[in-house]
């Protein structure tokens, strides 16, 4: 049976709440798809639910096609598992932890690596059981520090997550094979959903290579930064993006003597620049300063130096230093170890055997650097690498350790230039290898009866984000409302009788029944509203095809057919009643 508008719950609104900033959020609220219950928590009303279910159905079909098997794991998870893998710490505040009546802590799952690995440990015992790919679609919880943009960053959301288990990385049945299958399935899913996407390299983790990819919808409202070479042969997210070779010159001569300047309370680069302008009358640019960041790996201090206007990339520094456990140093601890946090300069490394010094090429230059004086409330100017560090017996290592920026050279070394855009992450595929099977001591026996940790892959899709991205995408909305891709639209056809009475009732029902017999879902606007109201609402909720029933067309035994995306003209077209079903079937399938 076709849905009658009056029987559904579609609370459209003329105005969006003031706190809805981005188009998808505003339109989902105005179209009556969702209702906010609290920060980052939404009820899905009928239209929202239908859209999400359409996306889920496509995902299911493609997962099944790719050989994955659906299961459903608990949201409510023993905290011990999270402690064993170290992710309680790693997730930190983003992990929801609840106590039961006995005071035991449980996590509300933000993802399910621990749970699925435990499951595999219980039932997958032999290489004969491999490979195996399990997936689920369910609710995840993340205590986002700052939920925003409606459904794009919420605290409770729908995710498809798949996990695969393998004996080997390569070859038949290997992790790479399944990874490629999932990758291909993702492409089909997003194509069927009708959303434009780009695939970028993401931070790969322990085994390197192309071990992780993110699927991004290009959009100014995205929160992830993507860099693409203008040669079209490289794309990566900002955490991952390497930068091509850049000139360096550590040996440049100084332009004057090192001078200490009192800079009371100037803890940041910005502070120092303001101080120079205000108190010294000198215009100091951030790019003429050196930012010296103190990190720690085990007992070793690792200092990363980047230009004042650049950002340190921790993952790059970690790789350059060869220290997998490198993190930003605790401030108090660093102070105790002799680092004047806020006033650190690269020459702090001089004479210290417990410090490794790394410098980004853009910072490894001559010039008149202003940087910390390694004493509280003091900076120095005219810092010079050769004189103040190298001649003092410390050799800094030059390495790419900063985040890439628009205009940087491509790592492909083909003259390409990186360009920065923003995107919404809708999918992520990742080779986990044995991280979790080791942590949770899951083993299988191989052909030689040896016990080994199976390799894992994980593959996630943000279902809500598919819906929001479909609206955010180019052509996904206009000044009147949403424009759905046909495959994830809440309904494919909206029948709008100008008057819902008499022969129009019968005609609407007849067309709806005929369309539904062809597998097309239909919403009938049976409300006793003025035509203008119905048309405005139709545009707002964005159903791809609208059949308008009115006297004018009926006099010619016709109806009006209009595509929401304008593909059959701004006013649509007149179609004979007998022909409209066939025409829609052809257009939709």
Closer of 132 and 291 to RNA (Cβ): 291
Dihedral, 489, 493, 498, 500 alpha carbons, nearest 10: -100
- From the list 525, 520, 541, the residue with the least C-alpha distance to 583 is 520
| CB of residue 570 to RNA, shortest distance in Å | 8
Give the burial class of 459: count Cβ atoms within 10 A of its Cβ; 0-12 exposed, 13-18 middle, 19 or more buried: buried
Nearer to RNA, 130 or 312 (CB): 312
Beta pairing partners, 477:
482
**Smallest gap from residue 484 Cβ to RNA (A):** 15
In the complex with RNA, the residue whose CB is nearer, 381 or 562, is 562
Closest alpha carbon to 321 in 362, 293, 289: 293
CA distance 530 to 532: 5
Helix (H) or strand (E) holding 218: strand 212-218
Could you write out the DSSP letters of every residue in 38-81? ETTEEEE-HHHHHHHHHHHHHHHHHHHHTT-EE----SEEEHHH
- Shortest Å, Cβ 490 to RNA: 17
Q: What is the DSSP string of 290-358?
A: EEEEEEEETTEEEEEEEETTS-B-HHHHHHHHT-TT-EEPPHHHHHHTT--TTS--GGGGTT-TTEEEE
Nearer to RNA by Cβ, of 144 and 509: the residue is 144
Q: How far is the CB of 17 from RNA (least distance, A)?
A: 3
H/E segment holding residue 380: strand 378-383
CB closer to RNA out of 343 and 430: 430
- Closest CB 92 distance from RNA, rounded Å: 7
Residue 24's closest CA among 567, 466, 325? Answer: 466
Query: CA 482, 487, 491, 496 torsion: positive or negative?
Result: positive
Contact residues: RNA, CB under 7 A: 12-19, 21, 38-40, 90-91, 94, 110, 142, 145-148, 214, 223-224, 314, 328, 425, 428, 480, 498-499, 528-533, 535-540, 548-554, 560, 562
Residue with Cβ nearer RNA (250 or 524): 524
CB of 517 to RNA, least distance (A): 25
**Of residues 487, 508, 490, 485, the one with CA closest to residue 564:** 485
168 versus 537: smaller Cβ distance to RNA: 537
Which residue, 139 or 589, is less far from RNA as judged by CB?
Answer: 139
Smallest distance from RNA to CB 519, Å: 26
Min. distance of Cβ 30 from RNA in angstroms?
A: 7
Tally: H helices and E strands in the chain: 16, 32
Q: What is the CA 556 to chain-centroid distance, rounded? A: 52
Q: How far is the CB of 147 from RNA (least distance, A)?
A: 6
Q: Which is nearer to RNA, 66 or 559 (CB)?
A: 559
Q: Which is nearer to RNA, 124 or 543 (CB)?
A: 543
Q: How far is the CB of 114 from RNA (least distance, A)?
A: 13
Element (H, E) at 552: helix 551-554
Between 125 and 529, CB nearer to RNA: 529
Answer yes or no: are the C-beta atoms of 522 and 3 closer than 8 Å. Answer: yes
Inter-axis angle of helices 175-193 and 463-472, nearest 10: 40
Coil, strand or helix at 581: helix
Minimum distance from residue 526 beta carbon to RNA (Å): 12
DSSP string across 139-175 = EEE---SS-BTGGGB-SEEEEEEEEEEES-SSSTTSH
């Amino acid at each position: 049976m076709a849905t009658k508008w009056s029987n559904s719950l579609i609370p459209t609104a003329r105005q969006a709440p003031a706190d809805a900033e981005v188009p998808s959020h505003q339109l989902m609220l105005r179209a009556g798809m969702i209702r906010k219950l609290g920060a980052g928590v939404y009820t899905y009303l009928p239209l929202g639910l239908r859209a999400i279910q359409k996306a889920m159905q496509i995902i299911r079909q493609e997962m099944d096609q790719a050989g994955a098997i659906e299961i459903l794991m608990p949201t409510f998870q023993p905290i011990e598992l999270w402690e064993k893998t170290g992710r309680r710490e790693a997730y930190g505040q983003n992990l929801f932890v609840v106590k039961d009546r006995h005071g035991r802590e449980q996590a509300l799952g933000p993802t399910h690596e621990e749970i699925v690995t435990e499951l595999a440990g219980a039932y997958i015992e032999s290489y004969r059981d491999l490979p195996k790919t399990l997936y689920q679609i369910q609710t995840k919880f993340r205590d986002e520090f700052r939920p925003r943009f409606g459904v794009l960053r919420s605290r409770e959301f729908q995710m498809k997550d798949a996990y695969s288990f393998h004996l080997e990385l390569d070859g038949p049945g290997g992790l790479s094979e399944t990874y490629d299958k999932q990758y291909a399935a993702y492409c089909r899913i997003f194509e069927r959903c009708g959303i434009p996407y780009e695939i970028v390299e993401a931070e790969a983790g322990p085994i390197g290579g192309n071990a992780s990819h993110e699927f991004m919808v290009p959009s100014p409202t995205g929160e992830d930064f993507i860099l693409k070479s203008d040669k079209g042969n490289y794309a990566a997210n900002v955490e991952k993006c390497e930068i091509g070779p850049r000139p360096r010159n550590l040996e440049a001569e100084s332009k004057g003597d090192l001078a200490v300047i009192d800079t009371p309370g100037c803890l940041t680069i910005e502070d120092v620049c303001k101080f120079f302008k205000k108190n010294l009358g000198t215009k100091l640019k951030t790019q003429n300063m050196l930012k010296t960041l103190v990190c720690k790996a085990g007992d070793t201090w690792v200092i990363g130096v980047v230009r004042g206007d650049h950002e340190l990339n921790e993952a790059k520094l970690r790789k350059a230093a060869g220290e997998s456990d490198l993190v930003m140093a605790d401030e108090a601890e660093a102070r105790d170890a002799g680092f004047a946090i806020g006033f650190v300069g690269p020459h702090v490394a001089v004479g210290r055997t417990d410090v490794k010094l790394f410098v980004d090429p853009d910072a490894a230059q001559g010039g008149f650097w202003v940087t910390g004086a390694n004493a509280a409330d003091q900076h120095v100017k005219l810092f010079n690498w050769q004189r103040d560090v190298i001649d003092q017996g410390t050799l800094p290592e030059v390495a790419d350790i900063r985040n890439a920026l628009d205009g940087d050279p491509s790592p492909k070394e083909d003259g390409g230039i990186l360009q920065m855009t923003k995107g919404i992450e809708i999918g992520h595929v990742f080779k986990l290898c044995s991280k979790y099977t080791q942590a949770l001591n899951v083993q299988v026996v191989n052909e030689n009866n040896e016990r080994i940790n199976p390799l894992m892959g994980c593959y996630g899709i943000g279902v809500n984000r598919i819906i929001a991205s479909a609206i955010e995408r180019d052509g996904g909305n206009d000044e009147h409302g949403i424009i759905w891709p046909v495959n994830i639209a809440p309904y494919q056809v909206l029948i709008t009788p100008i008057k819902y009475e008499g022969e129009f009732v019968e005609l609407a029902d007849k067309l709806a029944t005929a369309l539904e017999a062809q597998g097309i879902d239909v919403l009938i606007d049976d409300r006793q509203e003025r035509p203008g109201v119905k048309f405005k609402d139709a545009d707002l909720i964005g159903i791809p095809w609208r059949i308008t029933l009115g006297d004018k067309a009926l006099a010619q035994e016709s109806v009006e057919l209009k595509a929401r995306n304008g593909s059959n003209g701004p006013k649509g077209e007149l179609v004979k009643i007998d022909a409209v079903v066939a025409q829609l079937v052809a257009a939709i399938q």
